[in-house]
Amino acid sequence: MNIRAKHVLVTILAQAGCLAVGLWMQYQFLESSVASEGLNAAWTDVEREAERVLSQRAIKAGSASSGDLLASDETFVLSVVRDRDVLVTIVDDQWRVLRSTYRTERQDVMAAGAATGWNKAAPPHAGDQRRLRGTLDMPDGVHLAVALPFGNGVGHLMLHRPAAVAESRALELLAKVPALSALTFLWTWALLGVLAYMLLAKFHDAAERDRARSIAEGLRQRQDLVRTRDAVVFGLAKLADSRDPDTGDHLERISVYSTLLASILRRHPKYAREVTPAFVRLIGISSALHDIGKVGVEDNILLKPGSLTSDERSRMQSHPTIGGNCLREIEQRLGSSNFLQMAREIAYAHHERWDGTGYPNGLKGEEIPLAARVIAIADVYDALASRRVYKKARAHEECVEVICEAAGTQFDPDLVSAWLTIAPKFAEVARRYSGRPAPEESPGPAGAGASHETRKRGSERDGVEAEALLAVAPQNSA
């Protein structure tokens, strides 16, 4: 469920809860109000009958006695009271029942003394002593009663009715309220739900547009930063590499070679988990820094035309350490990142060998970081397949043969096996970047037109190339 649906659902449920509580409170208020109004209406009916009785001459207050009334016919009393729910009870001055129209299943006439449950209330009107309002505790429940005094204080004529009748009528009025409340709830909830959906949908659409714009802007800025970083890194690496005039497009080729090999490893069962799309993207740019340590090697060693002494060779082989230490210091200042970590691993270990005889740390097998093992194959292939002023480029088949022979000694054999499946693509890349003409003074490897110095330099490098590829790096391009 997406965030919009969750917000709409929570809002609608909250509205339903609030609406249900409001309708319940409304019903409680109606119930209380209707019950109160029902009792007031019952009191009014009883008092109305009391007014009618008082208006009758025969029993007018102050002119009749309980004895006179007893002497009269009961049908006359009943004829005075028109409301059939109103009952008549006559009591003497001691509030003992003399006669009553009240009937129950267990007794036809109230026994004497049954009116002791009379609870006197305030008179209906201030200063009106002709009528007394109160309640009677009767066998069938509480009755609302009005007592009319006879003349000479000989007793009272009591008109009363069951309070349950008034309550039942109030409940009858409330009977349809739950159904109406349910209908009100459904209609109101539906309308509020539609309104909430429309408002939230509009809000979420606007938020989603803002979020999309923010993400797009963030991605654009990030891409700009990445492009700027890559351009600066590649420019610096190119500047360092330009000290050796024989390398040409070496960095561009290494970047393409390493990307191709890393891409094929994504489908290799052994490396599929480690080689992610991010790994493939990073190795293409990180590879440019593999020889960044050569900036710390003196020109008289890096560009020496003849063979190197043991001290010079040792100095030449220090460039992985120089480059790795430089990148580590950058990490410490800027904070670690995947790009800097991979570049540092490559700079340190791209001259390590699978059998542990490489440099600078003599790492063996999978101790060598995977990115450095990838760059090792790409770097050696480029050294073999590239033309220099002192040598011709080797044929692709010969490059493949040399690398295959070094599998298990210099290179990771699994990587070599994977590389063989895309080796023809390496040949295409080598041809693509071989369009630059060689300098005029260097038409070929120690050829007839080459200067004595060029032939000497080429001879020196050709003499150590096998060692460079299968043991250690070339004297001047380690």
Beta carbons within 8 Å of 380's beta carbon, 6+ residues apart: 402, 403, 406, 410, 411, 469
* Between residues 22 and 455, the one the model is more confident about: 22
Task: Tell me whether the omega of the peptide bond preceding residue 305 falls within 30 degrees of 0, making it cis.
Answer: no
Query: What local confidence, expressed as pLDDT, does residue 87 receive?
Result: 82
382-399 residues labelled b (16+ CB within 10 A) or e (exposed): bbbbbbbbbbebbebeeb
Query: What local confidence, expressed as pLDDT, does residue 279 receive?
Result: 94
**Does 70 have pLDDT greater than 90?**
no
- Sheet of strand 87-92, all strands in order from the earlier edge strand to the far edge: 97-100, 87-92, 155-162, 141-149, 132-138, 118-120
Among candidate residues 72, 65, 55, 76, the one with its CA nearest the CA of residue 155: 65
* Between residues 84 and 435, the one the model is more confident about: 84
Range with lowest mean pLDDT among 28-37, 198-207, 253-262, 433-442 = 433-442
* CA dihedral over 229, 232, 235, 240, signed as positive or negative: negative
- Which segments of 9-154 are extended strands (E)? 87-92, 97-100, 118-120, 132-138, 141-149
**Does 402 have pLDDT greater than 70?**
yes
**Among 112-121, 145-154, 196-205, the range of highest mean pLDDT:** 196-205
H-state helical runs in 84-150:
none
Q: What percent of the chain has pLDDT over 90?
A: 23
Mean pLDDT of all residues in 220-246: 70
Q: How far is CA 271 from CA 178, 354, 369, 412, 420, in A?
A: 69, 17, 12, 12, 16
Query: What local confidence, expressed as pLDDT, does residue 451 receive?
Result: 40
Position 78 confidence tier, pLDDT thresholds 50, 70, 90: low
Q: Which two tokens stand for residue 70?
A: 């007893």
Among candidate residues 70, 80, 86, the one with its CA nearest the CA of residue 154: 70
**Does 274 have pLDDT greater than 60?**
yes
**Among 191-195, 197-201, 287-291, 353-357, the range of highest mean pLDDT:** 353-357
**Does 416 have pLDDT greater than 60?**
yes
**Does 29 have pLDDT greater than 50?**
yes
Query: What local confidence, expressed as pLDDT, does residue 134 receive?
Result: 81
Q: 415 with 374: CB under 8 angstroms?
A: yes
Mean pLDDT of all residues in 208-215: 87
Query: What local confidence, expressed as pLDDT, does residue 124 receive?
Result: 44
* Between residues 171 and 294, the one the model is more confident about: 294
Position 335 confidence tier, pLDDT thresholds 50, 70, 90: confident
Instruction: Return the residue matching tokens 């970081």.
Output: 369
* Between residues 67 and 119, the one the model is more confident about: 119
**Does 360 have pLDDT greater than 70?**
yes
Q: How far apart are CA 348 and CA 475, in angstroms?
A: 18
Mean pLDDT of all residues in 291-315: 85
Q: What percent of the chain has pLDDT over 70?
A: 73
Q: Which two tokens stand for residue 396?
A: 């692709």
Q: 109 with 100: CB under 8 angstroms?
A: yes
Query: What local confidence, expressed as pLDDT, does residue 391 receive?
Result: 67
Q: 438 with 389: CB under 8 angstroms?
A: yes
* Between residues 371 and 43, the one the model is more confident about: 371
Q: 254 with 290: CB under 8 angstroms?
A: yes
**Does 369 have pLDDT greater than 90?**
yes
Query: What local confidence, expressed as pLDDT, does residue 113 receive?
Result: 36
pTM for the predicted model, two decimal places:
0.52
CA atoms within 13 A on the CB side of 469: 25
Q: Which two tokens stand for residue 323?
A: 């480059």
Among candidate residues 293, 256, 283, 294, the one with its CA nearest the CA of residue 343: 283
Query: What local confidence, expressed as pLDDT, does residue 118 receive?
Result: 65
Q: Chain-centre distance of CA 179, in angstroms?
A: 40
Position 457 confidence tier, pLDDT thresholds 50, 70, 90: very low
Q: How far is CA 3 from CA 10, 194, 207, in A?
A: 10, 17, 12
- Which segments of 139-184 are extended strands (E)? 141-149, 155-162
Query: What local confidence, expressed as pLDDT, does residue 82 receive?
Result: 62
Query: What local confidence, expressed as pLDDT, does residue 170 receive?
Result: 72
**Does 473 have pLDDT greater than 50?**
no
Mean pLDDT of all residues in 347-358: 94
**Does 159 have pLDDT greater than 90?**
no
What structural domains and CATH numbers belong to the chain? 3-178 (no CATH), 242-470 (1.10.3210.10)
Query: What local confidence, expressed as pLDDT, does residue 452 receive?
Result: 38
**Does 349 have pLDDT greater than 90?**
yes
Q: How far apart are CA 176 and CA 280, in angstroms?
A: 73
Mean pLDDT over each residue of the chain, to the nearest integer? 75
